[in-house]
Amino acid sequence: MNRCSWLVAAFGLLSACATEAPVEPELQEAPLRSWKSWKSWHGHHHKRWHRCRKTSAEEGSSCAWSSYSEGLSGAPATLAFFDPRERGVVYAAVGGDIFRSTDSGETWSPRGNTAGNVTRLDVDGPDPSGLIAATGGGIKVSNDAGASWTTIGLSGLQVEALQIPTVQPQRVYSVIDSGPLLLSTDAGEHWNVAGVNYPRGDTFGLSVDPRSALELVAALQFFTPERAAYDGRGAIFRSSDGGVSWQTVYDPGTKLNALVRCPANPDVILAATRAGVARSLDNGATWTLSAIASATEGSVGIAVNPHDCDDYYALQGNEGPRHTRDGGATFSAPLVEGLQLVTAGWFPGSLAIDPDDPTHLILSTHGAFYTSHDSGEHWSVLPVTVFMNVTGLAVSPSRPSEVWLSTWGQGVWRRTGENAAWERFGIDRLPRDYVASLGLDHASRRAVIGANPPLFTADGESFAETGTAGFAAGATFHPSDPDVIYMTTQVLGVFKSEDGGQSWQDANANLPRWATNASTGVDARALVIDPARSDHLYLATSGHGIFRSEDAARSWTQVLASTENATCLVLVQQPLAAPHLYACLSGVTVSRDGGATWSQLNDGLPGLGIFQLLHDPESGRLYASSGRGIFVLDPGEEAWRALDPDCEALVRGMAVMTEGGRRYLVVGAEHSVRRIAL
C-alpha cells in the first residue's frame, strides 16, 4: 500500500485532524489597528533555534548556558493532533517548527522545521515516523517524525489546503494562497488547474468525500477585485465533478473560519462561521445553522469526536470552547475553568481530541497547552514551553535575584529566586495576555506593564489601571524623583507622569507626526535619562531618528535623522565627559559626544538585526541580542565577540541578576529562559 492510500484509509481524510488557521487578537481601541505593524515591531515570527537547537532539558556540555525555565508555559501551536498510529503520541506545529510528545502531551520536544509556515499537518503512511505537511514552501513529507523534511510538490508556494481521496490516492487536490483549485493525477508530481470555475477567495477549508474522488466541499472567504481585498463574507461550495464546476450550497452572510468532516460518518460536515456552527448531514448538499448565544465573534474552529459526530466543540472567538453532545441543539457554557487566559477579544487556539479517550483533550492557545480529562469541564496547564514571544525581561533593582518576564500572548511572570519556579500573575490580578513591555523602578518595587488598553502600575503585588492608552514600548523612571515616569508608545508618542503613574500628560511637544490609517501619531520606541543631568532626555523613534530634550520633554531636537526603526537606546555615563549613546539602528549606532555625531559599531556582529542592548555597569560590558545569539563589547574594544558561539538562539530579552553571591546574564529566548555565569 503506498503512502497516499494508507494516509486516507487509516485516518479518513486529512481534514479530520486539521484545525483552523490562527486568529489574530484584535487591538482593542488602538489608534493604529494594524496587527501586521505590531508583528513587525516585535518580530512575532516563528524563527527557529540555530546551531544549538535544543530544549533546556537537553542542552549538552557544548552550551555553557543553564536552564532557568522551571514553571514556565507557552505553547501557541496553530495545529495539534493525536497520532492514530501510536498511543500517546501528539504533534503540534508552531509556524514552521514541529514539536512531538510521546506521553499524551505532558512533555514536548522540538523535532525540526519545515522551512515554511505549516497550514496542514498529518500522518503519512503506516510507519509512525511518517508525516505530511502543507506549508508556505510547498507540500513536504518527513520520514523521521518531523526532524527533516523533503519537498514533494509546489515548491516555494503557500499551500493553504491539501486533500487526497481515499478511493483514488494518486489524485491530489490543493489550493495555493488565494488561488485556484489545483489537481495532480500522479500523487503530486505534476499540477494543473482543476477547473476555471473555482470561486475567487481565500480557502478556509477543503474536504473530499472518502467514498468518491470527485465529490468536494470548500469553504471560502470572498475576494472583491474592485477593492483588491477580502470583504469579510464567505460561503460553502460543492463540486461533483472533481472541481470542474461549483455550486453555492450555503451562504451564511458572514465569514467562514473552518471546515471539518466527521471521521465516523463522512456525510456529516461541520463549518465554523461568525454566526455559529453550520452542519450538513448529506455530504454538503444542505446546511443548518446552530447559533450560539453570546457568540459575538462566532466560531473560529471546530473539533469533533472521531467516534461520535454529534459530539463536538466549537471554539468561540471571544469566549473559549463550548461543547455539544446533541449535534448542536444545545451547547455548554464556555469551558474556561482553569484557563489562565483573557477571553475578551479573539480566542485563537487548536483543540485535539484523544481518539483512545475522547474525554481527554489538549487545548493549545496563545497562552499555553492545557489538558482536560473530563471533556473540558476542568483544565490544567501543561508546564511546557514550545514557543514564548518575549517582550521584556528585567531584574528588580531592590531584589537582584527577582526576575520579571513579559510576553506577547502569555502574560507576565515573576521568579523570586533559584529555588522558586516561575509564576504567572493570574488574570484575576493582571487581566492581560498580550503585554508589550515592562519596566521596573530602580527606587522601589513598582512595575509598569505596557498593554492595550490601559497601562498598569504595580507595587510588586497589586495592579491598577492608569490613565494612558496605546501599546507601551517602555517605561523610564527618573533616577532621583520616584514620582516622575516617562512612557513611550507605538503610536501616541511620549507620556510623562509626575505623580508616580496616577496621571499622564502628553510630552510630544514638537516631535514630528507620521500618518496612520486612523490619524497621525508619534512612533516612540525607547527613552533614556542622563543621570548627571536629569532634564536631559534622549528618544529613539521609528522613522524619524533620535531626539534630545534638554528641558525634561518640554521640547525636542533631532540629533540623528533616520527613516529606519530605532528599537532600543542605551546611555552609558562617562566621567567628566558627555555620555555615550548606543542605539539599535542599522546594527549598532553610537555617539560618544552626547548625540552630536554618530557612527556605526558593527565589527564582529553577524548582521544588522539587533533587538536589544544591555549595559552592565559593574563590568562595563555592553551586550547585544540578535537572531544569532548574544554578542559582547568589552570596555575599550571596538569589535564585538560572540558570548557563546555554540548556543546561538533568537534572544528577545536580557538582564543581569545576582544570586548566591554570583552574577548571571539571564536571557529570554523562543523555547526557554536561560542564564550564564558572568
Grid cell locating 157: 508556494
Classify residue 36 as exposed, middle or buried by CB count within 10 Å of its CB (0-12, 13-18, 19+).
exposed
- Locate all alpha helices (DSSP H) within 120-240, ordered by sequence: none
Task: Give me the pLDDT at residue 472, please.
Answer: 84
Q: Residue 425 gets which letter from DSSP?
A: P
Task: Give me the pLDDT at residue 335, please.
Answer: 93
Q: Flag whether 499 is in a domain.
A: yes
Task: Give me the pLDDT at residue 26, please.
Answer: 32
Q: Flag whether 224 is in a domain.
A: yes
Residues 534 and 620 in one domain: yes
For cell 514552501, name the residue: 137
Q: Phi and psi at residue 553, in whole multiples of 5°? A: 80, 15
Residues 578 and 440 in one domain: yes
Task: Give me the pLDDT at residue 36, please.
Answer: 28
Residues 405 and 369 in one domain: no
From 333, 365, 382, give the residue that closes a domain: 382
Residues 461 and 546 in one domain: yes
Q: Residue 9 gets which letter from DSSP?
A: H
Residues 456 and 317 in one domain: no
Reference 296, options 278, 315, 313, 319; nearest CA is 319
Residues 369 and 408 in one domain: no
From 382, 405, 427, give the residue that closes a domain: 382
Q: What does the alpha-carbon distance between residue 235 and residue 221 come to, in Å, rounded to a whole number?
A: 7
CB contact at 8 A, 439 and 477: yes
Q: Flag whether 29 is in a domain.
A: no
Q: Flag whether 49 is in a domain.
A: no
Residues 487 and 595 in one domain: yes
Q: Flag whether 283 is in a domain.
A: yes
Range of the domain at 565: 390-677
From 382, 407, 441, give the residue that closes a domain: 382
Classify residue 263 as exposed, middle or buried by CB count within 10 Å of its CB (0-12, 13-18, 19+).
buried
Q: Flag whether 66 is in a domain.
A: no
Residues 494 and 548 in one domain: yes
Q: How many domains are there within the chain?
A: 2
Task: Give me the pLDDT at residue 359, please.
Answer: 97
Grid cell locating 3: 503512502
Grid cell locating 529: 535619562
CA distances from 313 to 303, 310, 335, 528, 591 (A): 5, 10, 10, 50, 58
Residues 558 and 599 in one domain: yes
User: Which residue numbers in the chain have pLDDT < 70?
Assistant: 1-62, 224-231, 294-296, 344-348, 453-454, 515-519, 646, 648
CATH classification at residue 504: 2.130.10.10
What pLDDT, in 10s, does the model give residues 488-539?
998 889 999 998 888 899 999 999 887 655 557 888 999 999 999 999 999 9
Residues 539 and 627 in one domain: yes
